[in-house]
Amino acid sequence: MKYLHSMIRVNNLENSLRFYKELLGLKLQSKKDLDDCTLYFLAEYEGGPEIELTDNWEKPQTPYKTGETFGHFAFECKDMDAFVKKAREMGYELLYNSPFNLDIKNEDGTVTVKRISFIQDPDGNEIEIIYKG
């Protein structure tokens, strides 16, 4: 098995593309028009795991709600301080008093420290940003 993509319906395509492309650095890999929507597939690199943004042409009167079983997407960043600065400059707020350190105890007794931050995309989906150092 190979993980291919996660699909989310978006309320405002322009806002979502800005978030995923400009803040998270994903690139549009392909676009597909269907009978009732347009699908946008974004990934860090060609052939990598994708996020499918579904832009339904007829949207409900109230915005989509995140499903109860969905948790978050996770991305690794190379520089947490630079990510936080860029997110704030773009007007996004971080969640849960992040960033914060998360100590992971390994089976051999060593501890790995990860720097974690959470943010929401324009449709309220949580995104976890991880710096492994």
Count of helix runs (H) and strand runs (E) in the chain: 2, 8
Catalytic residue among 44, 52, 126, 128: 128
Examine the residue annotation and report whether 46 is marked as an active-site residue of this protein.
Answer: no
How far apart are the C-alpha atoms of 52 and 61, rounded to whole Å?
22
The DSSP secondary structure of 29-58, one letter per residue, reads EEEEE-SSEEEEEEESSTTS-EEEEEEESS
Q: Would you call 104 helix, strand, or coil by DSSP?
A: strand
Residue 91 DSSP symbol: T
Residue 117 phi, psi dihedral angles, 5° rounding = -140, 150
The residues annotated with a catalytic role in the active site are 128
